[in-house]
Structure 1
Amino acid sequence: MQTNRKQVTIAMLIATFLAAIEVTIVSTAMPRIASELGGLQFISWVFAAYLLTSTVTTPIFGKLADLYGRKVVFTVGAALFLLGSMLSGLSSSMHQLIWFRALQGLGAGGIMPTTFTIIGDIFPYEQRAKVQGWFSSIWGLSGLVGPLVGGFLVDYVSWRWIFYINLPFGLVSVIMLWIFLREEGDSRERKIDYLGVLTFSIAVASILFALSTGGTVYSWGSAIIIGLFLVGILFLLIFIWVEFKAEEPMLPLELFKIPSILVSNLAALLSSGILIALNVYLPLWVQGVHGRGATGSGLTLLPMSIGWPIGATLGGRLMLKVGPRKTAVLGLILILAGNVSLAFISQTTPDWVLSVIMLIIGFGFGFSMTVYTVIVQSSVGWNLRGAATASNTFLRSLGQTIGVAVFGTLFNHYMKVFMMGHAEVKNINVSDLNRLLDPHNIGQIPSSVMKTMREALVYGLHHIFLILVGIAVLALLFVFRLPSSKPEAVAVSKDLKEA
């Protein structure tokens, strides 16, 4: 039986939607969950546990998909994700929920790269860009639907159903994949790079844990954070040595000798850093500087979720006409233009201007991110496509994780610099910012203090936006190195041809 592209695509769209909606739907329910389970101080770990395990396992599952086939690995990932979902719904304490979310993240690390890899397998280059645009639309749709579905379930059913709802859809996706996807057999002897998996997991987990807790749970100069970074760097060096020696490396480092893959991954890393900064700091501007509520900040970000899928769809078509390089350059120019605009906004800038800026940036991400995925998938053959796709997914997650840590540290630094120059606020801790800027506290805090704190906030955010401009310029310089034509035309190293 031949592969039924339509049915397989539907199955992968369902799986992608489940993984994409997980973040937004859980965010909506967390206040109710914390109220029922207790442990309000551990809320951030509900998200961090999921991010940590999914990021670590993404490249591992990507390589396993090359060794054992897409269906088997996808099924394993889906099984872990659904088991984690069911147990999360049954959680009776915040600690249990954190552990079960980590299990859910393990599964997500298998679902996402394998999903994109399967699409890369069943569609030729000429159709790949268009289909990837559909998948980008799913991410945009999840940003719109997630809060609505989460709010409905929390208010009228139970927060536990935000996890249970994954079960029937996940099972349908797996069943459809086994029925409609046909994979060619592979008679090669399979050798798993266990040492590579172990050293990679320790290295990435240590670094991500340090980035996630540094400056919040622990100070950056504390022994535990320094120790985690040292362990991470040590095992990263060991991992690189192991991969050069391994007969079947977990992450073939030769992939990064292919210019199109190297450039796409670096651009994706930088772009993801910009993305997380916008999601974190633009709402802070809307709420802290303009004095709007959470709904107002969400509406300001909404145009990006609309522009992204439209840009991805248009970018897929444009890529076939003008080539991947020009399409990605256009995307980065739009991202750069949006961030330059943010660098010049003031306290009097209307909210609708911010919405227009985010729409432009959304178009930019749609154009560029689609190109990165298609190029990486199209630069290698079947036996390396899983690892190549996973490398791109991994670096996107890494970019967001690093971005959260770096931008958080820089923002606090700039805030402190400003506040030290103003006597009325120099003894106030930056962590008290939310309390000071809460509209309910107006009248309880001297107006001079409130005004100065808002000025400090503007000062800190403007510096963040200026840094984003620099990162966008750097990413733009990278994408000028992308191929101007179909990626298959890029020369592949001898080692990779023999793999």
Structure 2
Amino acid sequence: MVTKDGTTGAAASPVSAAEVAAPAEAGGLGFSHRQIMITMSGLVIAMLLAMLDNMIVAPALPTIVGELGGLDHLAWVATGYILASTVSTPIWGKLGDLYGRRIIFISSVVIFLVGSVLCGMSQDMTQLIAFRAIQGLGAGGLMVGVMSIIGEMIPPRDRSKYQGLMMAVMPVAMIGGPLIGGFITDNLDWRWAFYVNLPLGVVTLVVCWITLGKLPKGAGKARIDWLGSALLTVWITALVLITSWGGVQYDWGSAQILGLAALTVVAFVAFIVVQRRAAEPIMPLRVFNSLNFNLAGGLAFISGFAMFGAIGFLPQFQQFVQGTSATNSGLLLAPMMVSAMIVSLGGGLLISKTGHYKALPIAGTVLITISLALFATMDVNTSTFMSGVYMAILGAGMGGLMQTSTLIAQNSIELRDMGAGTGASTFLRNMGSSLGISLLGAVYVNHLTDSLVGAGVKDISTSATSMTPQSLRALPEAARHIFQQAVTDGVTALFMWGAVVAAVGIVIAVFIRQVPLRGGPAAAIKEAELVEASA
């Protein structure tokens, strides 16, 4: 007896031949390799837009804050973007299921570009934060749209080699972003850090409008689950605020944090109830019936947690302790990005050729755990070469994990839920990123300030929050060493906690089952036998 996730067993719920055959149609839309590659060019540019934006903006932020004011609200320039992107991801995915990928994806690109223009026109920090949220709203649709379109165009057996191409975008974004952002800030107006999205966005719109016409249009008659969308927004926002404000702006036991915690729980429970009853839920709970889907979601969460934890805080160590510039710290991430790209592309080809994928997430989580544990051993004398070796190991682990977790998730759901399922998986990765940044950031700040207190530094707030690499170099050698040691203590502590989280991922990866990928020879034979037996 065949179960819905492709395994066999007498105790599992049976699936009819029609139900088994239907998901195999995913990717059977008549796209030739040439058409797929042309379409992929537009999708790669869209993914580049989503990834490149933050990397370009980061070097410009000191100049932006200096011109617009509002240093106290600086964190919200990033938080507003991430929050809007995370909240909107599952909504975009479901809209794609209902109304078709093409129009929904193009709409997300337009919203992202409108947000970019508005950000460039901002006159104060309040406007910039609001417009960054609009940008994030569009970015959520870019990410889930790309993966959903690939999932609809290409069968899982062939999908991995195309998804691996997306990893090539990461080195371009992570390395090129700071260089472009630094050049714009130094030679042009900071507003061009946002306007630079326009030419890339126009190319994406033209290519996708022309090439995505063969995708299903969607029913277009179903009602949107507005109540579910609202509840989803409430509990995610409350949760992100807890992790952003807890222990920093408010004490963990304060009325504000406890109130947000209560709001998170109540809104989440209400969201689950609504999803069970809605005719077209924004996040269909049936996608979580597959064990493999849930395990892949756990891996997506951990990959987001580990990747953004590393990328977010490594520059602190590189700039304050190793003495690199802001632009060069972006270049020093190259070993991680290049190894991630190589392993992702190689792993995608291997999966496409053999149909076997279980070894990749296991190896990926092991490598991530090892690399984070190695980062936790760094001291003030660690060279850029050794940290580069650790980054290469981390990148190899990410390359084996990120696209594989998406592939496993998509192989575990039916075509009708491709957008919602991909959105749920991307949502979990974004949540991992958001929580990783905020929780590991709290660990970093606490250990840094504790180290300064232990060293007898009097004005902790001024020393910790107002220090820049330039001002650090102006300090006496003894004071400079104290601060560098404090930064090292904070960074190594957060990496140790990151290694603990990554180790949980190893356990999750071990329990993933090797289910045949739809579109491969073995899957086609089994489906043909089931159809013949049912006739």
Residues 224 and 170 of structure 1, relative CA distance in 2, 3 Å threshold:
same
**Pairing 1:310–2:342 present:** yes
- Other-structure match for 1:205: 237
- Report the 3-state secondary structure (helix = DSSP H, G, I; strand = E; otherwise coil) of the residue aligned with 2:275: helix
Instruction: Summarize the alignment of residues 336-375 of structure 1 with structure 2, pairs less than 5 Å apart.
Output: 336-375=369-408
1:182-237 Cα shifts (integer Å, max 9, x gaps): 12344584122121111111111222233223333434333223222221221111
- Report the 3-state secondary structure (helix = DSSP H, G, I; strand = E; otherwise coil) of the residue aligned with 2:413: coil
1:94-132 Cα shifts (integer Å, max 9, x gaps): 221111111111111112101110011111223211111
**Pairing 1:388–2:421 present:** yes
Using the alignment, how far apart are the partners of 2:200 and 2:469 within structure 1? 40
Name which of 295, 301, 305 aligns with 1:269. Answer: 301
- Other-structure match for 1:174: 205
Cα deviation, residue 74, structure 1: 0.9
- Paired AA for residue 330 in structure 1: A
1:258-292 Cα shifts (integer Å, max 9, x gaps): 11110011111112111222123322233334444
- Other-structure match for 2:61: 30
Instruction: Summarize the alignment of residues 159-170 of structure 1 with structure 2, pairs less than 5 Å apart.
Output: 159-170=190-201
Question: Residues 86 and 427 of structure 2 are in contact (CA less than 8 Å); yes or no, is this contact kept in structure 1?
Answer: yes
Residues 88 and 257 of structure 1, relative CA distance in 2, 3 Å threshold:
same
Question: Residues 210 and 225 of structure 1 are in contact (CA less than 8 Å); yes or no, is this contact kept in structure 2?
Answer: yes
Instruction: Give the TM-score, by structure 1 length.
Output: 0.90
- Other-structure match for 1:459: 489
- Paired AA for residue 500 in structure 2: G
- Other-structure match for 1:90: 121
Using the alignment, how far apart are the partners of 1:25 and 1:440 within structure 2? 23
- Paired AA for residue 367 in structure 2: L
Name which of 240, 247, 250 aligns with 2:272. Answer: 240
Using the alignment, how far apart are the partners of 1:210 and 1:148 within structure 2? 33
- Paired AA for residue 481 in structure 1: F
Cα deviation, residue 451, structure 1: 4.3
Cα deviation, residue 377, structure 1: 1.7
Question: Residues 53 and 105 of structure 1 are in contact (CA less than 8 Å); yes or no, is this contact kept in structure 2?
Answer: yes
Using the alignment, how far apart are the partners of 1:246 and 1:143 within structure 2? 40
- Paired AA for residue 224 in structure 2: I
Name which of 303, 308, 316 aligns with 1:284. Answer: 316
**Pairing 1:478–2:515 present:** no
- Other-structure match for 1:125: 156
Cα deviation, residue 456, structure 1: 4.0
**Pairing 1:140–2:177 present:** no
Instruction: Summarize the alignment of residues 321-470 of structure 1 with structure 2, pairs less than 5 Å apart.
Output: 321=354, 323-415=356-448, 418=451, 422=454, 424-425=456-457, 427-429=458-460, 432-433=463-464, 438=469, 440-441=471-472, 444=475, 447=478, 450-470=480-500
- Report the 3-state secondary structure (helix = DSSP H, G, I; strand = E; otherwise coil) of the residue aligned with 2:333: helix
Using the alignment, how far apart are the partners of 2:383 and 2:423 within structure 1? 40
Question: Residues 379 and 487 of structure 1 are in contact (CA less than 8 Å); yes or no, is this contact kept in structure 2?
Answer: no
- Other-structure match for 2:147: 116
- Identical positions, percent: 33
- Report the 3-state secondary structure (helix = DSSP H, G, I; strand = E; otherwise coil) of the residue aligned with 1:332: helix
1:330-358 Cα shifts (integer Å, max 9, x gaps): 22222122122223333322210110110
Aligned Cα root-mean-square deviation (Å): 2.5
- Other-structure match for 1:44: 75
Residues 430 and 35 of structure 1, relative CA distance in 2, 3 Å threshold:
closer
- Paired AA for residue 243 in structure 2: L
In terms of mean alpha carbon deviation, does 110-119 or 460-469 score higher?
460-469
Question: Residues 326 and 484 of structure 1 are in contact (CA less than 8 Å); yes or no, is this contact kept in structure 2?
Answer: no
1:356-414 Cα shifts (integer Å, max 9, x gaps): 11012111101111101111122222210101111111111111111122222233444
- Paired AA for residue 61 in structure 1: W
Using the alignment, how far apart are the partners of 1:62 and 1:186 within structure 2? 12
In terms of mean alpha carbon deviation, does 219-228 or 190-199 score higher?
219-228
Residues 442 and 326 of structure 1, relative CA distance in 2, 3 Å threshold:
closer
Using the alignment, how far apart are the partners of 2:144 and 2:499 within structure 1? 29
Residues 345 and 116 of structure 1, relative CA distance in 2, 3 Å threshold:
same
Question: Residues 50 and 102 of structure 1 are in contact (CA less than 8 Å); yes or no, is this contact kept in structure 2?
Answer: yes
In terms of mean alpha carbon deviation, does 405-414 or 199-208 score higher?
405-414
Structure 2 residue runs without a partner (length 5+): 1-28, 527-535
In terms of mean alpha carbon deviation, does 156-165 or 241-250 score higher?
156-165
1:288-321 Cα shifts (integer Å, max 9, x gaps): 3444443453343221122221221111122233
Question: Residues 320 and 472 of structure 2 are in contact (CA less than 8 Å); yes or no, is this contact kept in structure 1?
Answer: no
Question: Residues 324 and 482 of structure 1 are in contact (CA less than 8 Å); yes or no, is this contact kept in structure 2?
Answer: no
Using the alignment, how far apart are the partners of 1:187 and 1:283 within structure 2? 47
Residues 287 and 441 of structure 1, relative CA distance in 2, 3 Å threshold:
closer
- Paired AA for residue 285 in structure 1: F
Using the alignment, how far apart are the partners of 2:208 and 2:474 within structure 1? 60
Using the alignment, how far apart are the partners of 1:413 and 1:38 within structure 2? 27
Using the alignment, how far apart are the partners of 1:239 and 1:395 within structure 2? 16
- Report the 3-state secondary structure (helix = DSSP H, G, I; strand = E; otherwise coil) of the residue aligned with 2:215: coil
Cα deviation, residue 442, structure 1: 5.9
Cα deviation, residue 428, structure 1: 4.7
Cα deviation, residue 479, structure 1: 0.8
Using the alignment, how far apart are the partners of 1:297 and 1:354 within structure 2? 12
Residues 452 and 149 of structure 1, relative CA distance in 2, 3 Å threshold:
closer
Using the alignment, how far apart are the partners of 1:335 and 1:304 within structure 2? 11
Using the alignment, how far apart are the partners of 2:252 and 2:63 within structure 1? 32
Question: Residues 315 and 370 of structure 1 are in contact (CA less than 8 Å); yes or no, is this contact kept in structure 2?
Answer: no
Using the alignment, how far apart are the partners of 1:254 and 1:440 within structure 2? 55
Question: Residues 327 and 367 of structure 1 are in contact (CA less than 8 Å); yes or no, is this contact kept in structure 2?
Answer: yes
Residues 259 and 176 of structure 1, relative CA distance in 2, 3 Å threshold:
same
1:150-200 Cα shifts (integer Å, max 9, x gaps): 233333333222222322332332232232221234458412212111111
Residues 277 and 172 of structure 1, relative CA distance in 2, 3 Å threshold:
closer
Cα deviation, residue 243, structure 1: 0.7
- Report the 3-state secondary structure (helix = DSSP H, G, I; strand = E; otherwise coil) of the residue aligned with 1:324: coil
What is the number of residues matched between the two proteins?
487
- Other-structure match for 1:319: 351
Using the alignment, how far apart are the partners of 2:248 and 2:73 within structure 1? 12
In terms of mean alpha carbon deviation, does 180-189 or 30-39 score higher?
180-189
Cα deviation, residue 244, structure 1: 1.1
- Paired AA for residue 115 in structure 2: G
Using the alignment, how far apart are the partners of 1:83 and 1:457 within structure 2? 39
Residues 243 and 293 of structure 1, relative CA distance in 2, 3 Å threshold:
same
